[in-house]
């Protein structure tokens, strides 16, 4: 009996070795075993795996369905069945199979990781985060690390961070602990800390695949796209068909403006695995950016058909601005909002989308109710200190004086390449960008985070709340340091420049906070301030849900104060840097486009070109909420739209105060 058992184990082991190199021989091995031991579950599993490896997914499914019913307690059976279902695009059944597998074998980190990947692609971010945390917990056995992992699973991040930092100090080469600490740092948005920790983990253990995946994600979140792509390509060498790695790669390609390559990646993935709603949604985003609106709408609708509660896809349709929902769409959104089990992220996306749908039907009172609910729900999820923004303005004014800049004349890189467009979002900056990028010598890119990243590094902190401290580092920068930072910015943004034009646009609106830094490190850069009537601009922000950043935009009082601080800070820079900033008022651009465009190009030191008047014919990729609007001739309807909601905007008017009364002039601060 012992000899027979040993022979069986050897035969099964040989069969599994053959799976990766010769699945047909693995199938033969399985059938030989089954002749001797009919219905042996592991031999049947080997047979199913061999059929799947040879492309016979239907045959493999028939075998695995029967085996899973007969063997409800064998984890390997249900893991293979879940993997096959995922390959077939049957996401719901695949997730159920993986969940069952995890219950059978909760200490298997690979099972939890596979479940997390599938939940991510299915659009269930909360379930994915839970599965990834359980994966980390399952990968450790030291009681201290188990306690830290438990805190991570329960989202007690401060506790997890304390436990892990202490453990890593005592065990500096424990890669599992280092990876857990990096995961905690990433959840706290301390991405640079996470990056350094993961670099250390991979230095110690280059084959630590989960850490490499985490590293790629962290690099992507910091927009270190070239580095992220290198890591993803290494991951794909190990798992070339991984949907998780492939979608991450497509997302990075989108980030660096390689839209057509990203679209092809999504198309290949979705042909093979068509049941992933978030992949369809991301595909829709890429299609929208290159101007394929009908195709993007079809992709968003496909994602909704697969996952009717996916609020972000409804908002993506609304965010096209030119799209109009049907009555059936509105009823479907109402039905989803009536669900008690709807996740917070889906709920506030649906509230914003329904607000837009009802606005288009002139149901302004009900529309405002939904906008207000969506904003209140979103505000609960993000930290924002309105007083800190005001203090940043005051501190900038006291530090960055005319004398400060005169004493530093000649500092920085002399390159004239960048044109910064600053101001508030929804103020017409995308229109200005589209006009400028229609000029033969200017390339449009995107809202680049690189000035913010430099400021954050100067602050010595990765936490947003500490960013204002970077101002105090500016007096200590000498001429060489400023030149180096200017060159660093140019190098970091090089990946975004595709057309070899001498000038390029950085349209990050929040860079108005950092004009002092820009002036020090890039003194020949142009700065264009896009400004719009405070009521129209602020309400437009209130109606807009942002994927990230713009934390000021979810409360009428806070939006008004932010706008007021912006006007005050820009007035200060007008005074201490006279003539260095060119202002474009949206209302003037609407009223007399040619005059405003000529003045804008003159400021940039460039000759007038007729193409700038026909900016809407420019087929460049546009990555903001106004992407569809700037593909049309300029229209006047938006100038006074805020009056439809005027009766509910009292808090905004109060917060704006004299800035509203004086517009377009500036009150004395």
Q: pLDDT tens digits, residue range 120-144? A: 777 777 888 888 888 888 888 888 9
pLDDT computed for residue 648 by the predictor = 97
Name the band, by pLDDT with cuts 50, 70 and 90, for residue 3: low
Which pair of tokens denotes residue 29? 């091995």
Q: Are 254 and 262 in contact (CB under 8 A)?
A: yes
Q: Are 64 and 77 in contact (CB under 8 A)?
A: yes
286-298: burial string, b at 16+ Cβ within 10 Å, e else: bbbbbbbbebbbe
The answer to whether the pTM exceeds 0.85 is: no
Q: Apex CA 126: angle with CA 123 and CA 132, to 5°?
A: 100
pLDDT at 170 over 90: yes
C-alpha 270: how far from chain center: 20
Residues of the chain with CATH 3.40.50.300: 386-634
pLDDT tens-digit series, residues 412-454: 999 999 999 999 999 999 999 999 999 999 999 989 989 998 9
- 347 vs 339: CA distance, rounded Å: 9
Does the bond joining 664 to the residue before it have cis omega, within 30 degrees of 0? yes
- For 397, counting Cβ atoms within 10 Å of its Cβ (0-12 exposed, 13-18 middle, 19+ buried), the class is middle
88-124: burial string, b at 16+ Cβ within 10 Å, e else: bebbebbbebbbbbbebbeebbebbbbbbbbbbbbbb
Q: Are 566 and 462 in contact (CB under 8 A)?
A: no
- 84 vs 89: CA distance, rounded Å: 9
Which pair of tokens denotes residue 305? 């058909």
Which pair of tokens denotes residue 418? 């960048």
pLDDT tens-digit series, residues 334-374: 999 999 999 899 999 999 999 999 999 999 999 999 999 99
Name the band, by pLDDT with cuts 50, 70 and 90, for residue 10: confident
Q: Are 402 and 564 in contact (CB under 8 A)?
A: no
Homologous superfamily in CATH for domain 386-634: P-loop containing nucleotide triphosphate hydrolases (3.40.50.300)
pLDDT computed for residue 109 by the predictor = 84
Q: Are 420 and 584 in contact (CB under 8 A)?
A: no
pLDDT tens-digit series, residues 510-540: 999 999 999 999 999 999 999 999 999 999 9
pLDDT computed for residue 625 by the predictor = 47
Which pair of tokens denotes residue 194? 């996470």
pLDDT tens-digit series, residues 221-262: 888 899 999 999 999 998 888 888 999 999 999 988 899 999
Q: Are 594 and 613 in contact (CB under 8 A)?
A: yes
Pairing label, strands 503-506, 526-531: unpaired
The DSSP letter of residue 382 is S
Q: Are 114 and 127 in contact (CB under 8 A)?
A: no
Pairing label, strands 581-585, 503-506: unpaired
């Amino acid at each position: 009996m012992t000899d027979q058992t040993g022979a069986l184990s050897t035969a099964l082991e040989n069969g599994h070795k053959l799976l990766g190199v010769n699945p047909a021989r693995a199938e033969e091995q399985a059938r030989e075993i089954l002749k001797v031991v009919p219905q042996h579950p592991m031999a049947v599993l080997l047979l199913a795996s061999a059929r799947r490896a040879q492309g016979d997914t239907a045959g493999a499914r028939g075998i695995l369905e029967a085996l899973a019913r007969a063997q409800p307690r064998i984890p390997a059976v249900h893991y293979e069945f879940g993997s096959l279902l995922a390959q077939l695009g049957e996401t719901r059944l695949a997730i159920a199979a993986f969940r069952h597998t995890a219950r059978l074998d909760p200490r298997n980190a690979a099972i939890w990781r596979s479940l997390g990947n599938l939940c991510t692609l299915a659009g269930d971010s909360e379930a994915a985060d839970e599965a990834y945390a359980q994966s980390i917990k399952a990968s450790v056995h030291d009681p201290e690390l188990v306690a830290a992992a438990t805190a991570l699973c329960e989202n007690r991040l401060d506790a997890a961070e304390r436990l892990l930092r202490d453990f890593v100090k005592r065990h500096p080469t424990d890669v599992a602990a280092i990876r857990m600490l990096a995961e905690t740092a990433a959840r706290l948005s301390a991405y640079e800390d996470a990056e350094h920790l993961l670099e250390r983990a991979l230095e110690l253990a280059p084959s630590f695949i989960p850490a490499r995946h985490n590293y790629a994600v962290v690099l992507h979140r910091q927009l270190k796209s070239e580095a992220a792509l290198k890591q993803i390509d290494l991951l794909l060498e190990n798992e070339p068909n991984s949907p998780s790695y492939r979608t991450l790669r497509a997302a990075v390609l989108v980030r660096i403006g390689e839209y057509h390559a990203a679209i092809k990646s999504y198309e290949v993935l979705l042909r093979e695995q068509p049941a992933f709603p978030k992949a369809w949604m991301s595909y829709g985003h890429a299609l929208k950016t290159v101007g394929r609106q009908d195709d993007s709408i079809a992709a968003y609708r496909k994602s909704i058909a697969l996952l009717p509660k996916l609020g972000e896809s409804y908002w993506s349709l609304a965010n096209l601005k030119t799209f109009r929902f049907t009555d059936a769409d509105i009823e479907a959104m109402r039905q989803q909002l009536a669900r008690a089990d709807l996740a917070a992220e889906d709920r506030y996306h649906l509230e914003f989308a329904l607000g837009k749908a009802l606005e288009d039907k002139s149901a302004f009172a009900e529309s405002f109710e939904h906008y207000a609910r969506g904003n209140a729900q979103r505000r609960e999820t993000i930290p924002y200190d309105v007083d800190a923004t005001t203090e940043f303005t005051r501190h900038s004014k006291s530090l960055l004086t005319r004398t400060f800049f005169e004493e530093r004349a000649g500092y920085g890189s002399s390159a004239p390449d960048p044109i910064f467009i600053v101001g508030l979002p929804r103020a017409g900056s995308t229109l200005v960008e589209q006009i400028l990028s229609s000029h033969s010598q200017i390339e449009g890119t995107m809202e680049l985070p690189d000035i913010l990243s430099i400021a954050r590094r100067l602050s010595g902190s990765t936490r947003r709340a500490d960013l204002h401290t970077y101002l105090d580092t500016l007096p200590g920068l000498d001429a060489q340091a400023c030149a180096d930072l200017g060159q660093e910015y140019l190098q970091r943004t090089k990946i975004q420049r595709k057309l070899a034009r001498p000038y390029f646009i950085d349209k990050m609106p929040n860079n108005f906070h950092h004009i002092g830094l820009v002036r020090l490190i890039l003194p020949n850069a142009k700065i264009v301030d896009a400004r719009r009537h405070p009521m129209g601009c602020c309400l437009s922000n209130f109606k807009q849900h942002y994927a990230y950043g713009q934390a000021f935009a979810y409360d009428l009082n806070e939006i008004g104060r932010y706008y007021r601080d912006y006007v005050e800070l820009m007035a200060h820079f007008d005074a201490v840097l006279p003539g260095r900033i060119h202002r474009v008022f949206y209302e003037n651009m609407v009223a007399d486009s040619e005059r405003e465009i000529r003045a804008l190009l003159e400021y940039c030191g460039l000759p007038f070109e007729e193409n700038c008047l026909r900016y809407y014919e420019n087929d460049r990729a546009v990555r903001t909420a106004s992407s569809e609007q700037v593909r049309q001739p300029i229209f006047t309807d938006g100038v006074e739209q805020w009056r439809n909601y005027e009766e509910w905007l009292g808090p905004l008017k109060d917060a704006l105060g004299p800035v509203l009364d004086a517009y377009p002039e500036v009150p004395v601060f």
